[in-house]
Amino acid sequence: MPSTVIRSYRYDPQRRELAIVFQTRRAYTYSEVPHETYAALKAAFSKGEFFNRHIRDRFTFRRDDASSKPRSPADTPLPRSGPRPPRQSRHSHRDGRG
């Protein structure tokens, strides 16, 4: 079943790293993740729910981008879920009609 939270994930058993790409396209790598945790994620009906209960706030992670540094679980909030407020165009008020 496709996840509404997680776009993709992969596990490196030699490094014990779990890489997760969220639907927001933000990517994180979690360190020292046991193979059993990865196997349970893979088998979980709800990947997002499993992530929130068993991975989030339990493993050291880094955000995978050009300026990524290892972080503790409490350092950075995860991408929020739910609808985003509508964005307003930069040009919507140019002629005063909205």
Tens digit of each residue's pLDDT (9 = 90 or more) over 15-54: 999 999 999 999 999 999 999 999 999 999 999 999 999 9
- What does the block give as tokens for 51? 């992530």
- What does the block give as tokens for 7? 């776009």
Q: Return d(Cα 76, Cα 52) in angstroms, integer.
A: 14
Q: Return d(Cα 96, Cα 75) in angstroms, integer.
A: 43
Range with lowest mean pLDDT among 23-32, 56-65, 80-89: 80-89
Rounded alpha-carbon distances, angstroms, from residue 50 to 5, 36, 55, 88, 95: 11, 13, 7, 35, 49
0.85 surpassed by pTM: no
